[in-house]
A and B are shown apart, each in its own frame.
Chain A
Amino acid sequence: MEVQDQESLGRWDGLGSRDASSRTAAMENIHQEVMRKVEAIGPIPAQAPLPLASGSPATSDLNDILAHLLMLSKRCPFEDVRERSIRLLRAIQDLGVRIPRPLGNGPSRFIPEKEILQVSKVDTRTQSIFEDAFAALGRLDNISLVMGFHPQYLESFLRTQHYLLQMDGPLSLHYRHYIGIMAAARHQCSYLVNLHVNDFLQVGGDPKWLNGLDEAPQKLQQLGELNKILAHRPWLLTKEHIEHLLKAEEHSWSLAELIHAVVLLTHYHSLASFTFGCGISPEIHCDGGHTFRPPSLSQYCVCDIANGNSHANHHDDLFGNQELCGEVEVLMERMKQLQECRDDEEASQEEMTTRFEREKTESMLVVTAEDEECVPSRDISRHFEDPSYGYKDFSRRGEHVPTFRVQDYSWEDHGFSLVNRLYPDVGQMLDEKFQMAYNLTYNTMATHKDVDTSMLRRAIWNYIHCMFGIRYDDYDYGEINQLLDRSFKIYIKTMVCSPEKTTKRMYESFWRQFQHSEKVHVNLLLMEARMQAELLYALRAITRYMT
């Protein structure tokens, strides 16, 4: 029996190889095995196709394999594997077995599949990044595919994530995945939770923990509070929270472990933002990514329906575009004006402060579309406690929280040194990733070329930090009002503060003329800015604890 298990785990390993012949061999093995399994189920009566997920372990096992094959046929960066998988699936179908089909359209619900660089026709650089990722994980997740719009960033992102999850670090592997699950669950991001539940079990995690945080070790339970605050109201984090974690007798965390955990938590909080912001669909081989039902039953993915999206939306856009064709030009004009007149009109200090306050307050008024408390599905909610705890506007809080001045505690000067000291190399990687996200530009805006977008990027970055109460002394917050229109602000606010409420309509209603790749770019900015904001608060608390 043991042999069997190992076999099934190792089954897909060969496919990640760069050597074509070993891929062929691995594929051959899978072929034989699938055939064996199909035969094991016995002769199939032609009229009655396999019942869906019938209880027998053999069937469900086969179904898992078929789902995986389906994923390979769509997502594998190697042409030969894709072809063979398709052929194998067809062969099985010919034997009368019902094969699965993918639900939804491509990796993202917001972006048409054909827009997302098809794995087969990407440039060589992206291709090699994809191959590396596939070799490392045995899959190419939808997040990576969507990020494939920006290969430079993707490379940095994957390297960091790989280091955080797989390489040397103070926390054991299953802890890392579990913390990932905790963080993603905070935002009810079922996509990330599913992904990491699989990984968690694969590295030997105790399935009992998945029943809820209560079943996890005391040590992890204590992290729950930090997770909660960090995800929704990081400015409330104090050194007492840190002390509580570090001085808990036998369940206490070490500083290095805590830094690792904090980086993981912030990484997954912000990744959850990205996931919702780009409407990432479930992985094909995970639950909800495929179905064995015949296609006639439903045309749309369940989630699309739930979000109130229909194909009709696209027609609206056509009309909308005509009205708003000047949108990009207006934005560019404003940027130019700001560039020119900034010297003329010198705002007083009071004025500057008011502008920051106004932006802060306004960000509060930007209300997310559905305000009613949506009850998270039980499945996810068991991973965290206190589901009612959510984002509360920074400025609306009764108690006065002092503004966080970046000049007093910045990532470059302070955060980096602390992280690098306690968790070597990660500081460097995060630094690169932040810089990559902040400085990434192609000097284009929609159809216009040679545009200096630095002003716009800075406005977005600072707006997000503003929502977390972080202020740059040297920034005129009036610029934000000029550059970011209301629908865009709504989108940003929703995505950063309560990403689970992001809808396709929101995604479509901002920056209509911009390309999808640019919207993904915006998402990357949002994600990194959010991560940095959370990290700054957490690291400041740790620094205060240490001094």
Chain B
Amino acid sequence: MMRTAKLRTLAPTSIDSLAFQLFQRCSVSGTAKGKGKLKGGQQLKRSKVTTKKGGAADPAAKGGSKRGPSEAESLVDACLNAPTPVRYLTPKERAREAEREKMGLISKDRQRELDMMKKGKEKLGISDKPGIIGTPGLDLITLGLVDADKIPKYDLTVEDGRRLAKEYSRVLMRKHRARQAAESTLLRLKKEAIEALPEPLKAAALVPDLTPFPANRFMATLTPPIEGYIEKVKEAAKKSSSQERRR
């Protein structure tokens, strides 16, 4: 009798009975039950276990984590919160900002917007002259893929943009329709040719050819192949790999 009574008291049955329910425990994990601490729109807590930089900076900043965020952290912060020239604000937020401005309080983002507008276009890196497409030296104009004199003149305005878009769409649609028509003609000629074949040959021609495509078919490239270039690249690869081995 004594033993069973002891056993009963010494072996608590469920987690809830622990601590006499002074603190509520979550039924799954056994940890303290509380409301979710992550609210939407908040800055997410960053894990400190990630990159080398973070690891290298951490022991340095360990003692002085009260010093403030390290360089790497500030860089990551600046990237994640990179400013945009146009912010998305709901009408309510806009009204709130307008009223605050009347009172004289200007938020950081609004201040940044005003500064950007004052700076003007040149400093922000948008030029009026058309830039090049492609890496310098290998861009499409110097390679001869586009005739520079036939490019139409345009400014960076909405009307010019619409005009260019219309012409672009016209040109591409014309080409697309021509290609579709040509391909349907091809198919039609093929069908007629197969019809014109005598019987046994027709059956043989209708068998689909399922042998795989040749693996070494060359794709059209930007510039024509240079003779003797592959040997140069292979040699350079060998040299660099041997250097690494020496290290």
- Our verdict on whether A and B bind, yes or no, reads no
